[in-house]
Amino acid sequence: MIETTSLRYFREVALQGSLRHAAERLFVAQSALSRQISALEEELGVALFERRARGMALTEAGRLLLQYADDSRARLEKLRGLIHEFEVLERGHVEIACVEGLLSGFMPDFVEPFLAEHPGLSLTVSAMGSQAVAEAVAEHRVDIGILFGQSPRRDLIELARMSQPLCAIVSPGHPLAARRACRLADAAAYRVVLPDRSFGIRQLIDRVRANGRLALNVALETNTLSFAWRMAERTDCVTFLPMDSVRAEVAARRLVAVPLEDALFRGTRVTLVASASRTLSAAAQRVAESLEARMSEGARRAGARMAPVARAGKRSRNQKAKVENQ
């Protein structure tokens, strides 16, 4: 026990105003309690209590010592909390929901060194569409989430953003593979593979299609991005993904990623979110901070500037509208 016995006994007598009542609460003999108080007064050289017929009343010196004892106990409780948080951090479990597009490159590159640095922590990483990510975070089914585009809900806090421009993904022999860049309209001449409407990527593609009144030759829809790019690899189909989704395949020259020049595609990003109504555990906070740093690093490597992110409740409506229109 960090708090001394004599100080603990003194606090109880001061609170109860009676040696007998304090002894009963502490489960000690009244004589032993009296000896501890007398020893404390002798050590300090002052009387701490006025002995009265109806109990014990603090002297001025006693009130100062009680304030010291209370402050010491408060600091002790804070220390215990910090120690508990450290223990939880070293042994905790964190659940992350993430769009599939980051599970091939970005997330493995993050998770491997993070777990090596924090061997007592464990993670659950679940692949979901952007809307499902937002719902899982808002409903506290996961601790944090990474979704495509901006946060779709007001009850989420945006912690960090990372640029993820969309590309047309084709096989090396595809006619578009020789292009330095293209537009969505250029893919209209070919069969395309699209993710289903649960994906933020698909929702953005549909917006560009509607704005340009484009008719795409949709050969296949799928709820998994890996199947989409594998079909692009095996056939003459075109699919649309961020570069991070197929970085290894592009490096191995099994696929080609052609940047899309449409304005909405150039400005796409992924966003790290947490619930506005939930305080993250120490372990989840550490994961979130590490992800923020990694996303900032990824943005710098891509030559993209991270947009400043305001915490919930600290951003005006005009500021929020300005960010969302970027």
Domain ranges of the chain: 5-89, 92-163+269-324, 166-266
pLDDT at 301: 59
CA end-to-end span of the chain, whole Å? 57
Residues found in the chain:
326
pTM over 0.75: no
- Contact between 62 and 24 under an 8 Å Cβ cutoff? The reply is no
Q: Which fold has domain 5-89?
A: Arc Repressor Mutant, subunit A (1.10.10)
Q: How many CB atoms lie within 10 A of CB 107?
A: 22
- Are 26 and 34 spatial neighbours (Cβ–Cβ below 8 Å)? no
pLDDT in the model for residue 150: 86
> Strand order in 269-275's β-sheet?
122-127, 93-98, 144-148, 269-275, 156-163
Domains 92-163+269-324 and 166-266 share a fold: yes
pLDDT at 227: 95
CATH code of the region 92-163+269-324: 3.40.190.10
Residues of the chain with pLDDT under 70: 1-3, 81-91, 298-326
**pLDDT value of residue 313:** 36
CA distance 199 to 214: 19
Q: Which fold has domain 166-266?
A: D-Maltodextrin-Binding Protein; domain 2 (3.40.190)
Q: Give the Cα separation of 323 and 310 in Å (integer).
A: 10
C-alpha to C-alpha distance for 117 and 115, rounded to whole angstroms:
5
Please, which residues bridge with residue 238 across strands? Answer: 192
- pLDDT for res 219: 96
Residue 8 exposure: Cα atoms within 13 Å on the Cβ side: 11
> Which residues, 6+ apart, have CB-to-CB distance to 173 below 8 Å?
none
Q: Are strands 191-195 and 217-222 parallel, antiparallel or unpaired?
A: parallel
